[in-house]
Amino acid sequence: MRITIADIAQLIEGDLIGSGQMEITGCAGLKEAKEGDLSFLANPKYEPLAKESKASVILVPKQVSLTGKVVIRVDHPSLAFSKVINHFQKNAISLISVGIHPTAIIAKDAIIAKDVAIGPYVVVEPKAVIGDGSKIYAHSYIGHGTRLGSNCLLYPSVTLREKISLGNHVIIHSGTVIGSDGYGYVTVDGKHVKIPQIGTVIIEDDVEIGANVTIDRARFDKTIIGEGTKIDNLVHIAHNVSVGKNCLIIAQVGISGSTYIGNHVILAGQVGVVGHLTIGDGAVIAAQSGVSKSIQAGQQVFGSPAQPLREAFKTNAYIQRLDHYVQLIQDLKKRVEELEHKDAKDN
Amino acid sequence: MRITIADIAQLIEGDLIGSGQMEITGCAGLKEAKEGDLSFLANPKYEPLAKESKASVILVPKQVSLTGKVVIRVDHPSLAFSKVINHFQKNAISLISVGIHPTAIIAKDAIIAKDVAIGPYVVVEPKAVIGDGSKIYAHSYIGHGTRLGSNCLLYPSVTLREKISLGNHVIIHSGTVIGSDGYGYVTVDGKHVKIPQIGTVIIEDDVEIGANVTIDRARFDKTIIGEGTKIDNLVHIAHNVSVGKNCLIIAQVGISGSTYIGNHVILAGQVGVVGHLTIGDGAVIAAQSGVSKSIQAGQQVFGSPAQPLREAFKTNAYIQRLDHYVQLIQDLKKRVEELEHKDAKDN
Amino acid sequence: MRITIADIAQLIEGDLIGSGQMEITGCAGLKEAKEGDLSFLANPKYEPLAKESKASVILVPKQVSLTGKVVIRVDHPSLAFSKVINHFQKNAISLISVGIHPTAIIAKDAIIAKDVAIGPYVVVEPKAVIGDGSKIYAHSYIGHGTRLGSNCLLYPSVTLREKISLGNHVIIHSGTVIGSDGYGYVTVDGKHVKIPQIGTVIIEDDVEIGANVTIDRARFDKTIIGEGTKIDNLVHIAHNVSVGKNCLIIAQVGISGSTYIGNHVILAGQVGVVGHLTIGDGAVIAAQSGVSKSIQAGQQVFGSPAQPLREAFKTNAYIQRLDHYVQLIQDLKKRVEELEHKDAKDN
């Protein structure tokens, strides 16, 4: 998996400016990149950032030159960058080879497409469908009637319950459970009687889901994770939640039942969202916030309960200065008393 | 699993008022019910709610009539409702058939009662007991001496460590671990020396536990989850905790060691409870609260640290108006200064 | 596993003062100890604590006598205490016997040292190394090239991805995932493109990790958990985090990427730590805190956002008295108005 700058230039058919000998060991954004990294400049307005980047090679638009930097000029730097990453990625996931391990238990009426890799002790239940090129590591469970699209990647010990649907290029990390029953009860004479959870979960294309995540099946209907959304570890998504496209949901977030989340929403770590809300497109919820009201598109909120970001920062500044304000109040009280005292004497 | 209103009327031996042709696809409370749902009215005082309900059929007491609604009159609507739900439920969990899969490893001295279903790659260790009608999906692990009552349901990849005890009708979702060691160390010369955790966990009848939950075994003695309590996903319950009957513990709650929780307590999502506390019967802890003091029976609290609900709401209202109060203080300061100035001039 | 006080005196070659007949069922610190417990007094200044302890026997330094208490006199009480605990511990983990279960799948070029126990359905991938005396329970997965030191203990369903390194005497509880991909993307034209995560995780000697924990592999380089650190259940540790030695990380903590945590740090339950911070040696972060700035060595903080403990307590006291202060402000406002009114009249 040794790859040099020159190899990358060739892969993306770009014009290399500078030496091509150095080995590239990873990819990152301009800011985060370290020596050995490939990065890219999509928009010429970020040239100053590119000039300060520690990346060892930067993909740039045809007209751009960065003095003193090794660059590769291409028509579409962002597309070229994705292409290189995919190349890296393809090598990274080659630890499981195509074929079905003899200990995997595949139901007779399950459908296994071509170029599929299924590891030891995997169980594929009746009527399940595994699409072309999908790879399933050891100890994973594919429930009755569950369907994986093409080129999905399931790490060891993933559980997909019955009738779940995964699109193409979905990655799921170990220990994650998709399609567990939603948490729904009716209280009858003080006892909680279970409401059957007979809906499903739909995971669209290019979703990645971290380790030990839980996504519950809908009561009826469906829980949805939209295309391109990336979910970190230990996240909980309750029944009937709808998450839009290209969202980022960071570790230990919890989303309660029937909440609707738009596209390009960011939920930072340990955020909690109450049920039956609407979070608009592009909203950003800062870490540990508790969201109990719907959030408009583009809004940034913070706190528990969450406030718009500017107000939240102001509120926090006030809170951290409460000592000062309380002293001010007590000082004013004294001074008012003094004035009142004098006033009483004067009259 | 097609079931009509007429079928339900027959099942519960009730008097159907209205058309019985419609297919019923689920059950819900009066408020949450949608078209296709069955609901019930236990107490005549909720008649207004029943009249507004979208349920397609409502079970009502003998004397009640709801004009324009399809109803089924029965002696005990709540009992009849439970009966219908159980009927739905029985059909829902039929994906695993009675019998022991040939790849399941059952210790010679384990006891497997009748009508048990054990899926592929399940491991049942020595002296374990699996009660009548229990169903255990693939990849689950039943530790040494662990006992399941009758009609338990374990989804794939549940781990029950050694000497755990489950009552009857217990449901546990995938990835959940019961009986992991409690977190206990004694610090000796700066190093944390493990204290053996040799107690157990007792899960009583009719408990349901979500996915990827962890319930630790006691140091000695026992961690207990009381009858009828329902636990959501990713909850952590530490060693020696005692949870009462019919509690609701929502996703991502954490309960620290040796805390005692009464009956009918509700802990909303992401709540944290400190160790060695007592939470009284019927207490309600709002989402994301941090509970560091014992809570009396029936009390409702919110916040971190948690306050009684009314005070917490008041506090929050003040916090969100701090801007206003700070301006008031600053305005008062100016006015007091002015008065002092005038006073100085006058004298 | 029946052990009396006399047995313990013999095991640690100490002088028993009092009756040796009682059975000892566990070990604990002086404060936490109950009847049947062994405890120890390392520092004579804690004699008052020892006198009040409910422990049934206390290991004490040679010169100490505790009237009315059963004690065992030894040169080094803390070392002797550890010795007894290890003795208990050794018995506790004997549920799995040395040998490789016939259903375990061990790659031909994996190296299995001597006295190893490997349970049913364990998968050990190529080039993995399992050190002397290590025990791996059912359904665990040891990835390609992953190395366990000697005397490690993996409970059922642990997943160690490829190229992970465990030291000696590491304990990992069920459902835990080590080496899942870090959460890293570059956003290209609104889509999140995965950055390959090709680093590793290093777990040093004597680390214990609870159930359903996730520790992500580094992007490049390594995520590290230092020697003697103890991690509770459902903790999330992101890529490139470095945790020092002898830390305590309580349940449901989340640590974001590239954060550096010193030695002897305590993170209490549900704490969240932002990425790229430094938490100094011996720092203590109270439960549910949100840490968004680096913390100096020895500092104690609380709150979200976290403040130094004393300030945080003060702030909380003020917050809980906001009602009082708001009334004070409103009262002052009235009184100032009155003074102004009089002043206007007077002039």
pLDDT digits (tens, 9 = 90+) for B241-284: 999 999 999 999 999 999 999 999 999 999 999 999 999 999 99
B233 to A175: CB separation less than 8 angstroms, yes or no: no
Residues B141 and B52 in one domain: no
Q: Spell out the long-range contacts of B242-246 with Cβ–Cβ below 8 A and sequence spacing 24 or more.
A: B244/B281, B245/B204, B246/A190, B246/A191, B246/A192
The verdict on C76 and C183 lying in the same domain is: no
Inform me whether the pLDDT recorded for A1 exceeds 60.
Answer: no
Interface predicted TM-score of the whole assembly (ipTM), two decimals: 0.89
Q: Are C71 and C88 in contact (CB under 8 A)?
A: no
DSSP conformation class of C136: E
Shared domain check, B107 and B253: yes
Q: Per-residue pLDDT tens for B193-212?
A: 888 888 899 999 999 999 99
Is C334 inside a domain boundary? no
Shortest Cα–Cα distance, A156 to chain C (Å): 7
Q: Round to whole Å and give the CA distance between C261 and B307.
A: 32
Question: What pLDDT does residue A264 have?
Answer: 98
Q: How many residue pairs from chains A and C have C-beta atoms closer than 8 A?
A: 193
Which residues, in sequence order, are CB contacts of B146 under 8 Å at separation 6+?
A: B125, B128, B129, B160, B161, B162, B163, B164, B165, B166, B179
| CB A59, CB A38: distance < 8 Å | yes
Question: Are B212 and B269 in the same domain?
Answer: yes
Q: Output the DSSP codes for B8-42.
A: HHHHTT-EEES---SBP-EE--TTT--TTEEEE--
The string of pLDDT tens digits covering residues A313-341 is 999 999 989 989 999 999 999 998 888 88
Choose from B124, B140, B176, B186 for mutation: most chain C CBs within 10 A: B186
Residues on chain B touching A234 (C-beta within 8 angstroms): 212, 234
Task: Average the pLDDT over A238-247 and give the result.
Answer: 98
| Residue given tokens 């000796």 in the structure block | B188
Dist. CA C69–CA A15, nearest whole Å = 84
Query: Looking at the structure, do residues A271 and A150 belong to the same domain, yes or no?
Result: yes
Where does the pLDDT of residue A93 fall: very low under 50, low under 70, confident under 90, or very high at 90 and above? low
Give the C-alpha separation, A300 to A264, whole Å. Answer: 12
| Residue among C210, C230, C304 minimizing CB distance to B180 | C210
In a domain, C213, yes or no: yes
B288:A307 CB<8 A? no
Distance of CA A115 to the CA centre of its chain: 28
DSSP-derived secondary structure for B290-326: EE-S-B-TT-EEETTTTEEHHHHHHHHHHHHTHHHHH
Specify the pLDDT at position C94. 66
Quick check: C93 pLDDT over 60? Answer: no
Q: Please state the domain count of chain C.
A: 2
CATH no. for residue C136?
A: 2.160.10.10
Q: Do B161 and C155 touch (CB under 8 A)?
A: yes
**Number of helices (H), then strands (E), in chain C:** 5, 38
For C3-38, what is each residue's pLDDT tens digit? 899 999 999 999 999 999 999 988 888 888 889 999
Average model confidence (pLDDT) across chain C: 93
Which band of pLDDT confidence, cut at 50, 70 and 90, is reported for residue C86? confident
Condensed to tens digits (0 to 9), the pLDDT of residues B42-87 reads: 888 889 999 999 999 999 999 888 888 999 999 989 889 888 887 8
The alpha carbon of B125 is separated from its chain's Cα centroid by a whole number of angstroms, namely: 29
Kindly tell me if the per-residue pLDDT of A302 is higher than 80: yes
Residue type at position C175:
G
Domain boundary among B59, B92, B125: B92
Torsion angle in degrees (nearest 10) through CA of C199, C204, C209, C215 = -10
Task: Tell me whether residue C179 is in a domain.
Answer: yes
In angstroms, what separates the C-alpha of A250 from chain C's closest C-alpha? 8
Contact A262, A297 (CB under 8 A): yes
Q: Which residues in chain B are contacts of C155 at CB distance < 8 A? A: 159, 161, 180
Question: Please, which residues have CB within 8 angstroms of residue A19's CB and are 6 or more apart in sequence?
Answer: A5, A70
- Which of A33, A62, A92 terminates a domain? The answer is A92
Our measurement of the distance from residue B76's CA atom to the centroid of its chain's CA atoms, rounded to an integer in Å, reads: 25
- Both tokens of B162, joined, read 């050694």
Identify the CA nearest to A226 among candidates B280, C11, A215, C117.
A215
pLDDT reported for residue A267: 98
| Residue B43, amino acid | N
Strands across the sheet containing A129-130: A111-112, A129-130, A147-148, A165-166, A200-203, A222-225, A242-243, A260-261, A278-279
- Mean predicted confidence (pLDDT) in B320-345: 89
Q: What share of chain A is helix, strand, coil (3-state, %, to 5)?
A: 20, 30, 50
For residue A26, the chain C residues in CB contact (below 8 A) are 195-196, 198, 219-220
Q: What pLDDT score does C89 carry? A: 67
Same domain, A223 and A279: yes
Strands C208-209 and B15-17, bridge-based pairing: unpaired
Q: How far is CA B135 from the centre of its chain?
A: 21
Q: Is C53 inside any structural domain?
A: yes
In a domain, B159, yes or no: yes
**What is the pLDDT averaged over residues C96-110?**
96
Instruction: Please judge whether A315 and B322 are an interchain contact, meaning their C-beta atoms are less than 8 angstroms apart.
Output: yes
B332 Cα to chain C: minimum distance (Å): 7
Taking the CA atoms of chain A, what radius of gyration do you get in angstroms? 27
The kind and range of the H/E element at A266 are strand A266-267
Q: Are the Cβ atoms of A210 and C180 closer than 8 angstroms?
A: yes
Same domain, B230 and B295: yes
- Smallest CA–CA distance from C343 into chain B, residue: B339
Please answer whether residues A272 and B270 qualify as being in contact, where contact means their C-beta atoms are separated by less than 8 angstroms. Answer: yes
> How high is the pLDDT of residue B273?
98
From chain C, pick out residues whose CB is under 8 angstroms from the CB of B337.
none
* Closest-CA residue to C27 (of B105, B36, B219, A245): B219
Q: Which domain holds residue A33?
A: 5-92
**Residue from the list C198, C252, C307 with its beta carbon closest to the beta carbon of A26:** C198
CATH number of the domain where residue B29 is located: 3.40.1390.10
Cβ burial, residue C61 (10 Å; 0-12/13-18/19+): middle
Cβ pair A326:C325 closer than 8 A: yes
Q: What is the 3-state secondary structure (H, E, C) of C258-287?
A: CCEECCCCEECCCCEECCCCEECCCCEECC
Look at residue B45 and tell me if it is in a domain: yes
And the tokens for B4? 């009509």
From residue B68, alpha-carbon distances to B21, B43, B56, B74, C33 in Å are: 16, 19, 11, 18, 67
Asked whether the beta carbons of B328 and C325 are under 8 A apart, the reply is no
Q: Is residue C333 included in any domain, yes or no?
A: no
**pLDDT tens-digit profile of A106-160?**
999 999 999 999 999 999 999 999 999 999 999 999 999 999 999 999 999 999 9
Residues 6+ apart with CB under 8 A from A48: none
In this structure, what DSSP letter does residue C46 have? G
* Paired strand residues for A243: A225, A261
Q: How far apart are the two ends of chain C, measured CA to CA in Å?
A: 94
Given the DSSP bridges, would you call strands A71-74 and A15-17 parallel, antiparallel or unpaired? antiparallel
Distance CA C235, CA C273 (A): 12
> What is the amino acid identity at position B23?
E
Supply the residues of C annotated as catalytic.
239
Contacts of A154 in chain C (CB under 8 A): none
| C294-333 residue pLDDT tens | 999 999 999 999 999 999 999 999 998 998 999 999 999 9
pLDDT (mean) for B211-215: 98
Residue A119: closest CA among C147, C118, C139, B176: C139
Residue A252 has phi, psi (to 5 degrees) of: 65, 15
Tokens at C343, concatenated: 């002043």
Chains A, B: CB contacts under 8 A, how many? 191
- Does C119 share its domain with C195? yes
pLDDT reported for residue B139: 98
C-chain residues near A40 (CB < 8 A) = 186, 188
Last residue of a domain, one of C65, C92, C119: C92
Q: Assign C90 a pLDDT band (cuts: 50, 70, 90).
A: low
Note whether B158 and B31 are same-domain residues: no
Residues A167 and A60 in one domain: no
pLDDT tens sequence across B78-108: 889 888 887 876 655 568 889 999 999 999 9
Q: B23: which 2 tokens?
A: 């297919």
pLDDT above 80: residue C84: yes
Contact A85 C196 (CB under 8 A): yes
The reply to whether B320 falls in a domain is no
Residue B195 DSSP label: P
Quick one: C77 and C103 in the same domain?
A: no
Considering only the beta carbons, identify the residue of B143, B198, B254 that sits closest to C26: B198
| CB-count exposure of residue C1 (10 Å: 0-12, 13-18, 19+) | exposed
Q: What crossing angle do the helices spanning A322-346 and B322-346 adopt, rounded to 10°?
A: 30
- B294 contacts: CB under 8 Å, gap ≥ 6: B277, B278, B279, B280
Which pair of structure tokens corresponds to residue B105?
């490893």
Same domain, A56 and A181: no
Mean pLDDT of A261-286: 98
Q: What is the pLDDT of residues B7-25, one digit of tens each?
A: 999 999 999 999 999 999 8
Report d(CA C199, CA C220) in Å as an integer. Answer: 4
Mean pLDDT across A42-49:
86
The whole-angstrom distance between B113's CA and the closest CA on chain A is 25
Give pairs for A88-97: CB < 8 Å, separation 24+.
A88/A1, A88/A3, A88/A26, A88/A27, A88/C196, A88/C198, A89/C194, A89/C196, A91/A1, A92/A1, A92/C196, A92/C198, A93/A135, A93/A153, A95/C125, A95/C143, A95/C144, A95/C162, A96/A135, A96/A137
